[in-house]
Structure 1
C-alpha cells in the first residue's frame, strides 16, 4: 500500500490522490470476510440446537465424506416401545394391555413406562393394582379387579405355576432385539407383549440426505448383537453395520476408515462412545440424551435428537466456505478497481472513504445471509423434564411404531 502510494505521488504529486489510494486500499473487507461468516454460521447452528465448540469445525465439516454412527440412543431412541400385542385365546388386545399396564403401574422398569405410554395413547383407563409386589429383573405381581395377575419373563411365570405351553404362541426371536413379557391371569397365560428399541423417525431421512450431500461412506458400529445391528441398518438404509463392538473396537474402526483417506465424523451419545468421538476428525454428541463424558469428548453437540441437523451442518459448512470465498473475491476486485480509480483521479478521498464503508457493509450483509440457513427446520426448544411422579402423562418416544395386533 505504501509503495503504491509512493508511485502515485511520484507520477502525480497530488496529495489528495495519495490519500484516496490509502483509504480505498485499506483491507477491511478482507478482515471482515471470515469472522462475519463464522459468526453468522454459528448463529444459524445455535438456533437449531447445534453447539459448535471449535469454530474451525465449521469449515472442516464441509470436507467430511464419512459418517460413523453409534446405534443405541443415536440412531435408535434408546427407549423400549411396544411393537406387538399378542393375546392368547379369547383375550382381547385392549384387555391384555389393561392387565399388563395396570399391574406394572407402580414399577419404574422401562417396560412399565412403555406399557403406560401405549395405554395412554389408546385411551385405556388403568385399574388400581392391589397387593403390588415386584421382583427386580423378573416381573411383578398384583391383583387387578379381583384377579391375580403376573407380568414378567417366561421363567417368572413358570416359577409361579403357570403352564409352560404358552411359549409355543411366540413367533418372535429375542436374539433379534425383541424384549418379551408375558401376562398371566389366575394362573393362566392370556398373552404376551413384544417390545423393541425403535429407530428414530428421522434416521432414514437424515442418512438419505447425507448421501445426497455427497457423503461417500455411512457406517454403524454398536456393542449390540450383530443380528440386531443388521436389522436396524436395514430399517434406516445404512449399508455398513458392525455389531459386537467394544469401545476399543469402535476406535479401531474409526482409525481404519481414516487410514483410507476419509474425513470422518463420529456420532454417539454414551460413555462408551467417548473414545471413538475423540478419534474422529469431528466428534458429534447427541446432547439432549447424551452423557457429559460424550459431550466433552466431542467438538459438536446436538442439543436435541433430530438427526436431520447432520445434513444441515454439512450444507451450512459448505455455504460458509462459499460465502467466505465470495467475500475475499469481492475484496480483491474492490481494491483493484478502487486503486485504479483513485490513481487516475476519478475518485477523491471523500468518495473513497464512502466506498470503503460500503465495501465493508457489502461483506457484512453477504455473510448475514447465512443466518437464515435452516429456517425450514424447527428451531431448537429445550425439552421439558418429565415428572417421574406423574403417571398420567408420558411423552411418545421418537420413532415409536404402531403396535401390531396378533
Structure 2
C-alpha cells in the first residue's frame, strides 16, 4: 500500500513533499469509529465476505443472499478506497486506489462478486494495517516533541509564576525541581544537580551540572559553554533543585530543532528512492500500455471478452508498485526515527544510505579522537634525581602560569605527588616568549622550557641522558619541557593531548562493521599524529595539515576510496566535512553550526555513538536492499503469472502480502540496539 500522511508532531509540522506522487490522504480520524474507522470497515468487509462465501458453499438460504453480502463487503471494503480514488482523480492523479477500484468494478461487471469483494477486503485491511505500522515509526518521532513540559515556573520581578513554555523569553530564570523535565535550553545560574540528557544526546550516564559565575557571558557564548553549565529542554533533572536562565525560546530549543530536522529528513530523497521514482515513471505507463494491449487479446486468441477483461484487471492488480513505493520510505523513516531516539540526528535518506555503504572514515584529532586538552604523561628524571624532586620544582614554577601546558603539568604533578612534598618558595617568575619560563625556587634559578631554550643559554648544553630521553618522548608524540635548577638538569616532562578512553574500542567496533580505512587528518606534527594513530588503532595518520590542506586530503581520499565520512566538531572542520560524502559532527547538542552543517550529528560529545550510527545505517541499507528485492521480485513474478491465468484473488493476496512484508521488515529498525554506549570520560 502507499503511505498516507500522518498527524504531524506538535512542535514541528511534518512536510509532505508537493512532488511526491505517492502521498495519500489522511482518513485516520474520519468515519464513525474515529481513527480506527478504516480498520473496522475492513474487518466488516471480511465478515460479510466470509458469511457470503460460506452460505454459497453450503447452499444455505436464497440465491440472492450471498450476492447481497458480497455487495455489503464491497461497500465497507471500498468506502475509503473510493473516497481516495475520487480525490486522486480530482487532483489529476491516477494512483493505485483508482486501479484497485476499477479492477473491483470490472470483477463485478463479470459477475465475479466474491473475487471483487476479496480484492477490496485485502486492499483495505492491508492499507489500514500499514497505516498503523507506519504510524508507529512516526510516533517515535512525535514522542520526541512531547518530552519538553508544557509549562514552566519562572521568576519575574521577585515573584514566581507558572506560564506556558511558549511564553518564555531569553534571560528568564526558570525554577526546576528535582526529577522534573527541563522546560528550555539554558544556563544553570543557581544550584547543583545531575541531569539525565539521554532524551537529547543519548548519553547513558547523568551529567553533573553547576552554576556559572557569569550568566550573561555564558548566555552570549552558549554554543561554546562547558557541558557542566549548559542544560537542554526535555532532559530530566536529578535530585538537586536548580535555577536556569533561558538561552533559547521554545521553538529554537535543541529538542525542537531536532524534531523539525528529523521530520524534514523524511522528505529528503535517498539515492535508492530517486532510483525507484525514476523506475516508476517508466514502469507505470508501460503497465497501462500493456493492459490496453491485453484488452485486445481476443483478436489474437480465441476467448470471450469477459476472460480478456478479467485478465487485464488481474494484471492491473499485479503490476501496481505498492510495495516498491513504500519499501524505501518506510526503512528511511524507521532508521531516522531510531537514530534520533538514540541521540543521533541523521538528515535524510541520502546520509543514512551513504553512511551505511562507505568503507572509509576520516577523523579530526583534537577534541574528536583526543580529549582536546593536554595532560602530563611522562616525567623522566635525570640520573641522580628522583621523580618527586623533578615534579616538585616543576609544580612550584608552573603554578604561577596559566598556559595550557603549565596547567597540564600542575594537574599531573599534584596527582602524582599526592601532597608528599612541601611547596617550594617561588619568586621572580619571568616568561621567555616562545621558549618557556624562568623563576627563583628556594633561591636558585630554574628554567623550564623547550629543549631549544637551553641551546640559547650559556653553559647549558643538554646532558646525553636528558637529550636521549627528550628524543624518545618526541618520537612518541609528546610535547617536551626540560627542567634545570641552577646548573643541574632535573629531567624532562612529556605532555600530550591524550586519546579518549573509548577511542581504541570505537575503532575496533568500526572495523567489525566493515570500515576498512580509519584515517586521521590533523594540524599537529606528523610524530604526534602517528603516536595517536598507533594508540587508538587507526590505519593511517596525516599530520602538518592546514585547514585548506584538510579539504584537499578529503578530496584525495574520495578519489582513492569513493565514499568517505569526516568526523569533527562541525565548526573548525566544517570545510572538510562539507567536502566529505557524509559530514559527522560530535557534541552537536546546543551547537547551531554543527546542527546546520553536518549530515549526521552525534548529539553527545561521545565518540562511542559513532559505531551505533554506522551500525544502524548498515542495517538500514541491508533492509532497503531486501525490500527492493521483495517488491520487485513479486511484481516480476505476478505480471507473467496473471497474463497466463493467475486469478485476481491470488494476485492480490501475494501483492498485499509483499507490501506488509516490506513495511514490517522496515519497522525492525525501530528495535535496533547495536552495542551499548558508554559515556567518554
| TM superposition score normalised by structure 1 | 0.71
Q: 1:78 corresponds to which residue?
A: 372
* Aligned residue among 125, 148, 160 for 1:24: 125
Q: 2:402 corresponds to which residue?
A: 108
Task: Give, in angstroms, the shift of residue 264 of structure 1.
Answer: 1.4
Q: 1:152 corresponds to which residue?
A: 449
Q: Relative contact order (alpha carbons < 8 A, sep ≥ 6): 1 or 2 greater?
A: 1
Note closer, same or farther for the CA distance 1:282–1:231 as it changes in structure 2 (3 Å cut). Answer: same
Which sections of structure 2, spanning at least 5 residues, go unmatched? Answer: 1-99, 135-325, 639-645
Counterpart-to-counterpart distance in 2, 1:233 and 1:46: 30
Which sections of structure 1, spanning at least 5 residues, go unmatched? Answer: 348-355, 384-397, 399-406
Task: Give, in angstroms, the shift of residue 142 of structure 1.
Answer: 4.6
Note closer, same or farther for the CA distance 1:278–1:284 as it changes in structure 2 (3 Å cut). Answer: same
After superposition, the CA RMSD in angstroms is 4.3
SS of alignment partner, residue 492 of structure 2: strand
Note closer, same or farther for the CA distance 1:131–1:375 as it changes in structure 2 (3 Å cut). Answer: same
The answer to whether the 8 A contact 1:254-1:280 is kept is yes
Q: 1:121 corresponds to which residue?
A: 415
SS of alignment partner, residue 20 of structure 1: helix
Q: 2:356 corresponds to which residue?
A: 62
The answer to whether the 8 A contact 1:323-1:367 is kept is no
Task: Give, in angstroms, the shift of residue 212 of structure 1.
Answer: 2.4
The answer to whether the 8 A contact 2:126-2:660 is kept is no
Higher helix proportion: 2
Q: 2:544 corresponds to which residue?
A: 244
Q: 1:203 corresponds to which residue?
A: 503
Q: 1:387 corresponds to which residue?
A: none
Alignment of 1:2-401 (within 5 A): 2-10=101-109, 11-13=111-113, 20-26=121-127, 29=130, 32=134, 37-38=331-332, 40-42=334-336, 44-46=338-340, 48-54=342-348, 56-125=350-419, 127=423, 130-131=426-427, 133-135=429-431, 136-142=433-439, 144=441, 149-154=446-451, 156=453, 163-166=460-463, 169-171=466-468, 172-173=470-471, 176=475, 177-260=477-560, 262-269=562-569, 273-287=573-587, 296-323=596-623, 367=667, 370-374=670-674, 376-378=676-678
SS of alignment partner, residue 208 of structure 1: helix
Task: Give, in angstroms, the shift of residue 370 of structure 1.
Answer: 3.0
Q: 2:247 corresponds to which residue?
A: none
Counterpart-to-counterpart distance in 1, 2:391 and 2:400: 15
The answer to whether the 8 A contact 1:5-1:22 is kept is no
| TM superposition score normalised by structure 2 | 0.45
SS of alignment partner, residue 256 of structure 1: helix
Task: Give, in angstroms, the shift of residue 46 of structure 1.
Answer: 4.1
The answer to whether the 8 A contact 2:479-2:495 is kept is yes
Q: 1:389 corresponds to which residue?
A: none
The answer to whether the 8 A contact 1:69-1:266 is kept is yes
The answer to whether the 8 A contact 2:426-2:441 is kept is yes
Counterpart-to-counterpart distance in 2, 1:290 and 1:145: 49
Q: Larger Rg: 1 or 2?
A: 2
Counterpart-to-counterpart distance in 1, 2:529 and 2:336: 34
Regions of 4+ moved over 6 Å: 158-162, 288-292, 325-328, 359-362
Task: Give, in angstroms, the shift of residue 79 of structure 1.
Answer: 2.6
Counterpart-to-counterpart distance in 1, 2:341 and 2:113: 55
